[in-house]
C-alpha cells in the first residue's frame, strides 16, 4: 500500500473555519446551497425531519435519488476528482444521522471503481491529532 490518492472526511458546515485552517476544502452537499447531485430532495428531507419518514426509508430514497442521477449525468462526480483531500458538508450536527454519512461511502466507492486508493477519515472535528494535517496541506 502506498499513500492514498484521496482523503475523505465529513464535516458539519459550521466548522468550515477549522477545515480551512487545515487546508481541507469543504464540499457543500446541502439541498439548500450545495451540489444538488449529492443532496437529498426537499420532499424527502422534510418528511424525515417531520418524523413521517424513518431513517431506513430516508436512506433508501436518498440512495435511489443520487444513484439515479449518477446513471444520467456523472459530471459532478468527475468534477470532484481533482480534489484529493475534501470534507463532505451539511448542516446536521456531528453525531446525527444524515446524508453526508450516506454520501461519503458512495463517493469513496466511485473513486475505488476508478482504481484510486481512498482513505476515509470520518467526521472532521477539532482534535489535537489533526495537527499533523497542517504538514500535509502544504504539499
Q: Does 27 bind Zn ion (CB under 5 A)?
A: no
Minimum distance of Zn ion from residue 102's CB (angstroms): 9
Q: How far is C-alpha 102 from the chain's CA centre?
A: 8
Nearer Cβ to Zn ion (19/133): 19
Residue 120 Cα distances to 17, 43, 101, 107, 135, angstroms: 21, 29, 11, 10, 18
Provide φ and ψ at 86, rounded to 5°.
Answer: -155, 155
- Choose one: 69-77, 79-87, 94-102, 118-126; the region binding Zn ion (CB under 5 A): 94-102
Q: Which is nearer to Zn ion, 36 or 112 (CB)?
A: 36
Provide, rounded to whole angstroms, the least separation between the CB of residue 100 and Zn ion.
Answer: 5
Backbone angles phi, psi at 31, to 5 degrees: -70, -25
Among 90, 102, 104, 133, binds Zn ion (CB under 5 A): 90
Q: Which is nearer to Zn ion, 49 or 117 (CB)?
A: 49
Opening angle at CA 111, ends 106 and 117, nearest 5? 120
Nearer to Zn ion, 92 or 106 (CB): 92
Amino acid at each position: 500500500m502506498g499513500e492514498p490518492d484521496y482523503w475523505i472526511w465529513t464535516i458539519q458546515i459550521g466548522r468550515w473555519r477549522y477545515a480551512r485552517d487545515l487546508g481541507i476544502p469543504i464540499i457543500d452537499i446541502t439541498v439548500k446551497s450545495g451540489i444538488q447531485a449529492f443532496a437529498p430532495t426537499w420532499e424527502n428531507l422534510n418528511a424525515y425531519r417531520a418524523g413521517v419518514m424513518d431513517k431506513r426509508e430516508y436512506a433508501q430514497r436518498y440512495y435511489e435519488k443520487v444513484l439515479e442521477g449518477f446513471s444520467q449525468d456523472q459530471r459532478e462526480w468527475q468534477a470532484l476528482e481533482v480534489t484529493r483531500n475534501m470534507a463532505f458538508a451539511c448542516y446536521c450536527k456531528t453525531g446525527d444521522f444524515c446524508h453526508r454519512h450516506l454520501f461519503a461511502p458512495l463517493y469513496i466507492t466511485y473513486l475505488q471503481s476508478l482504481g484510486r486508493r481512498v482513505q476515509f477519515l470520518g467526521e472532521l472535528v477539532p482534535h489535537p491529532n489533526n495537527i499533523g494535517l497542517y504538514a500535509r496541506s502544504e504539499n
